[in-house]
Every structure is written in structure tokens, then in C-alpha cells.
Amino acid sequence: MRVWVRVTAIRRKTLCLWLLLLGFTLVTLALSDLFNNRRPEHSHQKPGPPRRPLQRIPNAPDLEVIVDSRDPALELGVDLAPLKSLQEDQLLFVLSTQGTNNLPRKKGSYKVLLPGANKDSRAPAPLTHDKVEKVAQLQLEAMEGDVGFSAVHKYGFNEVVSERISLHRRLPEARHPGCLGEQYSESLPSASVVICFHDEAWSTLLRTVHSVLDTAPKQHLQEVLLVDDLSQHGHMKSVLSEYVSHLEGVRLIRSNKRLGVGGCRTLGAARAAGEVLVFMDSHCECQKGWLEPLLERVAQDRTRVVSPIMDVIDWQTFQYNATQWPARGVFDWRLDFYWESYPQLQDKDPDSAVRPVQSPVLGGGVVAVDRHFFQSVGAYDPGMLLWAVEQIELSIRVWSCGGTMEVVPCSRVAHLDRQHLPYSFPDQEQLQRNKIRIADTWMDAYRKIFYRRDTLAHFIRQSESPNITERLRLKKSLGCRDFHWYLTTVYPQLYVPQDRPTLSGELYNVGTGSCADYYPRRPGPQGGSMNAAPCSGTGSQHCDLNSEFEVRWGPMGALCMDASGERVILSPCPAHRPTTSRLQWKFIKLSGQLVHQQSQLCLEVAKEGSLTQSSPRDVNTHTKTGALLLRPCTHHPRQQWHFEQLVAPKGA
Ligand SMILES: *[C@@H]1O[C@H](CO)[C@@H](O)[C@H](O)[C@H]1NC(C)=O
Ligand SMILES: *[C@@H]1O[C@H](CO)[C@@H](O)[C@H](O)[C@H]1NC(C)=O
């Protein structure tokens, strides 16, 4: 069923002109005094937000905005499951009817946009707000952490602070001095910046849009394409249409189905006119001069997919934090993505500060890709729902099927890293299903390594198969290389576990019935003390005693079991062979002892209480039974271990 709510192009153009004319007149004559925080060179091209009620032109927003009601799921050939969280929303909607008079305590700056202009369209807002608060509350109760104000609850960042910050703020210069003198060709390709959003906060969404408009050279910016992925918040509807209609070069498309990031970006790509697509998250801020270096790299090689350095906006203070270069994107065997800084590379070569670096994966925050290459390589996998890991799929595919990926250091864009997700997956399993698609489509036999480290995915996979028929056909028709090639050529830094039977799995302690565990106080490669904790069964405690006698830990396999005095710790594994004897362990199957080779002491779970004596600072909130210590070998059950395989070696 296809319904087109689209005004003919000619009529739209005529009325566009009218509206622009009116917009300009009103904005320049009546409201110009209110825009003193904008940069003067932009005051003509980009009418800013109206701060006073505008005379409402009948139907005007609809003429400015393409409301695309065609069913994109049909277009993409996917059967999209209905979003379960919508049902939850509806339940909460009923619960909160008493909130009709209870206007939201705090709203976005959209409140002053249309006071009284259209009461009807704003009427459901209190309900929407309430139910959002409730959903956020429920999510927050499930979270650890002690942040206690509702602005953070709603979006996962401090919206109050965000609203006090100008939509046109300038970021402090963070580019390397070598970048500032770079000259770029006048004939760079044009860019369409595609920004997908779902219930983004007003201030962060608009700061993203204005940031692009304020930084991208006009001659290179074809358009900013906002794609609304079925937002539910009231302010994302008519008020946004109205606002966007006053911005030159910005278009708004709405999907009438929840598409998720991949599907939403693919929809945007299909409507984009620029030669290069720049996919951007809806809570970003661009550093001056960010676009040109990206366009240049793509223009030089149309199969190159590029990302800026992703700087960080602090979710609490909105402070801008520059990311250390060099950085690249990586993923682990649970198919989780990370940006990894590795400053050690910098010293060797002074030019490296401005030279792009190839990256096994790119994050989803900002990605620039030639429009035709993007389409020919298969866009985003339409079978991926909601978000997360679609950028890993795209990355493996681009590399395997003839493209390359790199981070361009002279381009910087800051991304708001949320404290938590403002909306969650309808169920946790959705994430696993997306990962299963990657594993089964791209990882060949290596997918077993993934399934051992994500047992939930393994069990889902046992009871259902992903429909990857189309993706396998694509892979074949593009002549893509296999995962072994990808691992050896593109991402040789990823440790490939051996996962030998009886020498890998959860390290189970007979005396306590618990498992060896590590709970990082800070995520990162530095490691720390190991403990015993209840066995998780999820694959998160998986380790691998390899033929080098290292006990490799974690989904990256980059941490090695090590000793510091009597404490057993994890430390970064050496990059080169042979490994040091301090990291070598021998497993005696008969006795179940795990012997540290250098000291010839045995791995033991400490008795309750002995931990606090040795180092009280190590006590954290994570559930644990006791520290892991090195002790003279005995046959005590606290020194008896075996590797428990959760997923049979043949698995998946
Ligand atoms: C940003 O930097 C400040 C100070 O250096 C630090 O306290 C803060 O945690 C950083 N925020 C993020 C998100 O990295
Ligand atoms: C899988 O998807 C293809 C099209 O993408 C469709 O033709 C086929 O019927 C689907 N198979 C199953 C088992 O649903």
C-alpha cells in the first residue's frame, strides 16, 4: 500500500518562494534584534529561529516539508516487525491521563515558538512528556548510577545545560596546526548531510543542523536532509516542520515506519542529491573546516569511506573534549564497537598528525561516502532493526567488497556521548539478532568465536535463522573476500582465539562454585585485579588458554592473566612473541590446578575477608566471592578449576 502525501514540485516551489519571502521579511524586519548571537556573515543566508509568534500561513509547513508516507519497508524489501515499545508507550499513555493539566515543568525552546498559534497540535504534549518521563524512569531504575535530575532521565544527557548553550556556539580549535594551512580543491564534490533522528532533544538536534550550516562551505553543501524516524515527542512534529521551513537548504523527510538507523539512512540516501553522502548522528557539533578534508579524500578515491576524528561532548556539562590522535575504530569478538587511541604511533613520523589512517571499522557518528558507491555496495543492511552494529556490518562489507575506510585527522566533529540511552531496544535480543546477521553473513567459520562469547546470541540462533538470503546474494555478486582475508589484511591487530576444548570457556572454581571474573572500574585496555564472581553464563567471563600458555581474557582477547605480588591481575598482552614467562600458565587437568609458570604458585580463590586485609581499595560494588590469589599449590578445592564450555565446540 503506497500513499503519497506530496505536493507537486511546481506548486511547492512557488509557495516555497512565497514563504521564504515572508520568512525573510518577518525575520529581518520584526525579529532581527533578537538574533544578536549569530555570526554576522550568516544573517542573510540563514534565517534563524523565530522567537515570536509568526503569522501562520495556512498549510505552510506542509508545503515546505516533504512528508514521505510511502512505506519504506516495502521499498527496501524488508518485513519490519512492529516496535514493541510502542505498545508500552500506549499503556503508559493510559496510565498518565491525569497529567492533562500537569503541563511539563520544563520544555525545549520550542515553547516560545508558537505560543497559542496551534493549541491542538500541542495538546498531547503533556501526555507525551509524562509517558516519556515514565519510560525514562523505568529505564533509570534498572540502571546503576546516582544522577538525580529529570533532564538527564529524558534524553540521557543534561538537556537543561544544552538549552542554555547557543545553537551557534563555536568549538575551540582542536585541529593540528598542520591542518590549518591545508588547501583544498575548489571543485570538491557536493555533499548531502543526512541526519536521522528519533525523539532527539530540540536543542541538540538544532545545534547539529546549525552547526553544519555554519561550518560547511555553501558551494560544497547540497543540502541537509533531516529524516524523522517516527518520533513520538510532540515538539518533533509541527513545530519542527515550521522551524525547518525557515532554513535554507534544509529538508525534512518523515518516515511513517520505524526504520532504525540503517534503514533511516538508506531512506535519506535515496532522497539525497549530493554526490557524497555524509551520515551524521542527530547530536553532533562540527569543528570549522570539517567537511572539505572528507570530501577531498572521497573525491580522490570513490571507494573510500571516511570519518572525521570523533571528539566528545560531555553529556553532563556539554564541555567539548578533543580526542587524542591517532585513533581508529575497532570491534571485539562480541561485535561491540570502540574508538581506540594509540598515541605510540605518533612519535615516529611528524607527518602522521595530518595523515589519514586506515580503520578496520568506522563509528556511526559521522561517515562520508560516495553516493553511488554506497548504493552499489549495498547501502545499509535493511534487515538490521533499530540501531547498533549497523556500522560494523557496513565496515566489514566495504572492506571485503572493494572499498577502504579511514579516519581523516584534519576533520573533527564532536559527538554527544550519552550517559545512557534515552530509549532502549524493545528487547535486548534485538541487538543479538543484528549481531547474528553480521556473524552469519560475513564471519564464515570465525563466527563460532562470536557465539562462544555471546551465548544469548547462540541460543537465539539455535531456535531461529536470520533471513540473509539477499545479503549473501549481494556478497556473491560483488565478489567479496572472506573474513580470513579481512582479519589478516585489514584488522591483524585482533587476536584470534584458539578456543580449544577443555582449555577455554568460563574458568569455574570447584571450591566456591564461582567463576574467574574481571570487572573493569574504567573500561579500557589497562586491566586490573581479578576476582571470583557468580558464573554469568553469558560468555562475558570467557577466557582462552592458548598454545603460548597465555590465559587470554575479554572479548578482545587483549588482556592476559598476570601476577602482581600475590594478586592475580589482567594486563595488556604483549604485541610480540614470545610472551614473557610472567604471563604463562599451565593447566593440570588431573588436579584442576592452574599453575603460574614463573612463580610455580597455584591460582586460588581467597577466603571471604582476606581481600579487605590485602587491599581495601579494591572493594567495589560488583558482586564477587573473593580475590584471585597465587598460593602454594595444595589440593584444596579452592585451587581446583575447570574450563566450562557454554557453547559446544561444534556450536552455531
Ligand atoms: C572531558 O574532560 C574533562 C576534563 O578533562 C573530564 O573531567 C571529563 O570527564 C571529560 N568528559 C568526557 C566525556 O570525556
Ligand atoms: C527471505 O527474504 C527473501 C527476500 O529478501 C524472500 O524472498 C524469502 O522468501 C525470505 N525467506 C524466508 C524464509 O522468509
How far is it, in rounded angstroms, from Cα 400 to Cα 189? Answer: 25
* Bigger pLDDT: 477 vs 126: 477
Find the 412 Cα to ligand 1 centroid distance in Å: 17
Is any ligand 2 atom within 6 A of the Cβ of residue 470?
yes
At residue 420 the predicted structure's pLDDT band, cuts being 50, 70 and 90, is low
**For residue 143, what pLDDT is reported?**
35
Our CA dihedral for 390, 393, 397, 403, rounded to 10 degrees, sits at 60
**For residue 318, what pLDDT is reported?**
86
pLDDT, one tens digit per residue, over 502-519 is: 999 999 999 999 999 998
DSSP letter (8 states) at residue 289: T
Instruction: Give the DSSP H/E element, type plus range, for residue 243.
Output: helix 238-244
Model confidence at 599: pLDDT above 70:
yes
At residue 112 the predicted structure's pLDDT band, cuts being 50, 70 and 90, is very low
In DSSP terms, which residues pair with 531 in a beta bridge?
Answer: 517, 627
Probe residue for ligand 1, chosen from 319, 415, 418 as the CB with the greatest number of ligand atoms within 8 Å: 319
pLDDT, one tens digit per residue, over 125-145 is: 322 333 333 333 333 333 323
* Entry pTM: 0.76
Probe residue for ligand 2, chosen from 80, 467, 472, 474 as the CB with the greatest number of ligand atoms within 8 Å: 467
Share of the chain above pLDDT 70, in %: 69
Model confidence at 113: pLDDT above 60:
no
Taking the CA of 73 as reference, the closest ligand is 2
The C-alpha cell that represents 381 in the structure block: 543492511
* Bigger pLDDT: 527 vs 488: 488
**For residue 19, what pLDDT is reported?**
52
Find the 316 Cα to ligand 1 centroid distance in Å: 10
The one-letter amino acid code at 259 reads L
* Bigger pLDDT: 614 vs 321: 321
Model confidence at 292: pLDDT above 50:
yes
Domains in the chain: boundaries: 56-118+128-494, 504-644
**For residue 139, what pLDDT is reported?**
35
Q: Angle between the 469-477 and 429-442 helix axes, to the nearest 10 degrees?
A: 30
* Bigger pLDDT: 389 vs 104: 389
Find the 469 Cα to ligand 2 centroid distance in Å: 7
Task: Provide mean pLDDT across the span 219-245.
Answer: 89
Q: What is the Rg, in whole angstroms, of the alpha carbon atoms belonging to the chain? A: 27
Is any ligand 1 atom within 6 A of the Cβ of residue 322?
no
Residue pair 250/209 in contact by the 8 Å Cβ criterion: yes
| Range 504-644 classified under CATH 3.40.50.970 | no
Length of the chain: 652
Residue 527, helix vs strand vs coil: coil
The one-letter amino acid code at 301 reads D
**For residue 410, what pLDDT is reported?**
96
Is any ligand 2 atom within 6 A of the Cβ of residue 469?
yes
Residue 510 — φ and ψ, nearest 5°? -65, -40
At residue 526 the predicted structure's pLDDT band, cuts being 50, 70 and 90, is confident
Q: How many C-beta neighbours within 10 Å does residue 464 have?
A: 10
pLDDT, one tens digit per residue, over 245-280 is: 999 999 999 998 889 999 999 999 999 999 999 999
Range scoring the smallest mean pLDDT among 39-43, 103-107, 195-199: 103-107
Find the 417 Cα to ligand 1 centroid distance in Å: 11
Range scoring the smallest mean pLDDT among 46-55, 291-300, 487-496: 46-55
Is any ligand 1 atom within 6 A of the Cβ of residue 75?
no
Residue 508 — φ and ψ, nearest 5°? -95, 130
At residue 347 the predicted structure's pLDDT band, cuts being 50, 70 and 90, is low
**For residue 20, what pLDDT is reported?**
52
How far is it, in rounded angstroms, from Cα 129 to Cα 352? Answer: 48
Find the 517 Cα to ligand 1 centroid distance in Å: 28
Residue pair 513/472 in contact by the 8 Å Cβ criterion: no
Grid cell 595488556 in the structure block, residue: 572
Residue 54, helix vs strand vs coil: coil
Probe residue for ligand 1, chosen from 283, 314, 416 as the CB with the greatest number of ligand atoms within 8 Å: 314
Closest CA to 399 of 327, 492, 318, 334: 492
Model confidence at 62: pLDDT above 60:
no
Residue pair 426/388 in contact by the 8 Å Cβ criterion: no
Is any ligand 1 atom within 6 A of the Cβ of residue 429?
no
Residue pair 208/284 in contact by the 8 Å Cβ criterion: yes
At residue 398 the predicted structure's pLDDT band, cuts being 50, 70 and 90, is very high
**For residue 237, what pLDDT is reported?**
76
Give 518-581 as a DSSP string.
Answer: ---SS-STT-EE-EEE---SSSTTEEEE-TTSBEEESTT--EEEEEETTEEEEEEPPSSSSPPG
Closest CA to 633 of 606, 602, 604: 602
Instruction: Give the DSSP H/E element, type plus range, for residue 293.
Output: helix 291-300
Architecture of domain 56-118+128-494 in this structure:
Alpha-Beta Complex (3.90)
> By alpha-carbon position, which residue is closest to atom 12 of ligand 1?
314
Residue 599, helix vs strand vs coil: coil
Average pLDDT of the chain is 77
**For residue 145, what pLDDT is reported?**
35
Is any ligand 1 atom within 6 A of the Cβ of residue 312?
yes
